[in-house]
Amino acid sequence: MSVSLRRLYIRLLLAICIPLILVSATLLPVLHVHMESRLDSLYTEADALLKVGQEALTRDINESLNYALAIAEMPALRRYLTGQDETLIVDQHYSLSDLSQLSTFLNTLINHNPRYTKLVLIDNQGREVLRAPTSNETGPRVTGNYHAYTDYFGEASSLLPRDLYISPPGRNLQFELLGNDVIPVVNVSTPVFDAMGVRRGVVLLSLNWGYLTNALRQAMLLDPNANAILIDAQGRWLLDEGIPPLDAASFGGDFASLAPHYWQAIQQRNAGHASVDNHLLRFQTEDIRTLRYRSLAGTIFSENDYHPWKLGVTLPQPSWRSLIEEETTVLWFLLLTYSVAVAFGIFWALSSQRQRQLRKAAQRHAHEVSDLYENAPCGYHSLDSTGRIIKMNRTELAWLGYAEEEVIGHITYRELITPETRDRFDKAFENVKNNHPGSAECSLLTRDGEQRHVMIKASAYYRNGQFVHSRATVFDLTERKRLEEKLRAQAMSDPLTGVFNRRYLQAQATTEISRARRQHHPIALIAIDIDHFKRINDTYGHDVGDDVLKSFTKIVTELLRQEDLLCRVGGEEFAILLPNTSLAQAEQVAERIRSKAASTPINISEEHSEKVLRLTVSLGITAILATEKALKPALKRADIGLYQAKANGRNQIVVNAA
């Protein structure tokens, strides 16, 4: 095989492999972004489905609880219970015909509302006096229509008006026969009081839990791939259908054992997202005893061991395989792109084989040199003996914002230098003209008026002993300068409150003390400590403590002058340097800070509720003596005054003059 043919085979191999690699490197980020977009949409969909389910659960339970309260407050029902305490019903205001009407009315309500299975009216002794519908027999926990030993009667008998007791779904065999099906129920009981406020009995309303949860599932399963989750605090399954890991599960099943990965993810937090078994799990805590479910009710009671519940939804997470299977257009696009790339590579290999490499070498070399000069990451320019620009690459022109025809042969480079740094440039240019290397760190003034910090390194081109032009390389230092300034600012400021830190206070104090000594002006120092700050952290957590520090900083800042210097020198300790301020004036400033801090409420959030904190501060004041050259002695005196203020009971000011 000839060398030429071997080279052709190698070129063909490269022409196939390199385009495939380049196209893959280009398309993979695009596909990754597409996958990220699908995941973001999945998170949004999961949040929306969970919100719909939560609203459905809240609405249905609230309507049921309000329904129970409305029945308990029916005047006819109250009169009927009141009549049970009398000897003969027929002798009371409540007649047998009224009783028949009440029974018919309640039977109609229950029979026409599939949400409820039965309504039972119980007197104060636990005896059943009325039931709707009448065809619904007493459950296995009740003997002879006597409810005195049931949880719903015992709990409701001690409640106040409009209070409710809710039994856990299906607990203690609370299943009922509805038609030919045995269904779980939730018993809701509430006391009945007459118009005089006398307790007359208990109303029991049993909810068809299967009907409620079916409405919940229908609301959440708008996506056919979604699965609803509802479990109690014991890890019991509260729906009548399982999810893919729990296909055999039914109501009351041990979710914690059947799906330990799901249970572990749900149990760790009150709400959030988790990835389990290639599914996205979105969940949150639901407690029917909270304000969200009270509506018209007073207080809701239930078994603590079974609350709160966890409501969630699962959606299958997309994979690369599923993405390609669903997006056939993407697959065809990939195949077409790879085919075009390979075809282009083969065409390039065959055509380049016919070219004469020697004939093109010089042209390629010249082009590469020119391109390297024009588009280098640094600037290049040449100046004549007067400093006039005779050549400049595109990179530097782009920095300055000028076109080539505006600069070359028209202006001197010195005109582009800021006045503050021209002396450095002039000195370096003189060295270059004397055939010595020259360098200078200068600032260029762009067309937009901005400054660009650069380092210029130049040398001279001599011919026949005569200076022809300079050759300079320009390195952009703008970003480095900005980074240095940013790092310097970060080193001198407190990241939490945004005020200066102890290091800046000590550095700035030296300058202010020297200025005060020259101008014979007084200078004062205030040390501040927030009282009982550790108690705030221990009680409400460090996040609330951080919010308190930021709020206090804002209060103090609004009371200071522009020249005053507020610094955070410790956890809850602050110091204020007051130039041109006497000790008496500093005491007035301190009193304003103490008074303002004590009178300004600070709102904080704690476990779904808002609270208001009141702060007090202790302050120590001193004057910086004319003989002192540093801040340390004054800071020590101010700290002594601060500690005395705390020892004297806090929320006060102590002046330590010497």
The residues annotated with a catalytic role in the active site are 572
Contact 16, 9 (CB under 8 A): no
Largest CA distance in the chain: 139
How many angstroms separate the CA atoms of 233 and 227, rounded?
20
How many angstroms separate the CA atoms of 170 and 189, rounded?
15
Joined tokens for residue 291: 């304000």
Report helix, strand and coil shares of the chain as percent, to nearest 5.
45, 25, 30
H/E stretch holding 321 reads helix 320-326
How many angstroms separate the CA atoms of 159 and 584, rounded?
63
Q: What angle, rounded to 10 degrees, do the helices at 533-540 and 542-557 form?
A: 140
Q: What angle, rounded to 10 degrees, do the helices at 3-72 and 328-353 form?
A: 160
Query: Which 8-state DSSP code applies to residue 270?
Result: S
H/E stretch holding 623 reads strand 617-623
Q: Are strands 601-605 and 573-579 parallel, antiparallel or unpaired?
A: unpaired
Contact 273, 11 (CB under 8 A): no
Joined tokens for residue 243: 């999810």
Contact 379, 395 (CB under 8 A): yes
CB neighbourhood size of 502 (10 A):
17
Nearest CA among 173, 169, 205 for reference residue 185: 169
Beta partners for 274?
281
* Contacts with 447 (C-beta within 8 Å, 6 or more apart), sequence order: 400, 401, 402
Q: What angle, rounded to 10 degrees, do the helices at 478-492 and 502-519 form?
A: 90
Q: Are strands 500-501 and 451-463 parallel, antiparallel or unpaired?
A: unpaired
Strand ranges (E), 249-344: 271-276, 279-286, 300-301, 309-316
Contact 232, 306 (CB under 8 A): yes
How many angstroms separate the CA atoms of 361 and 348, rounded?
17
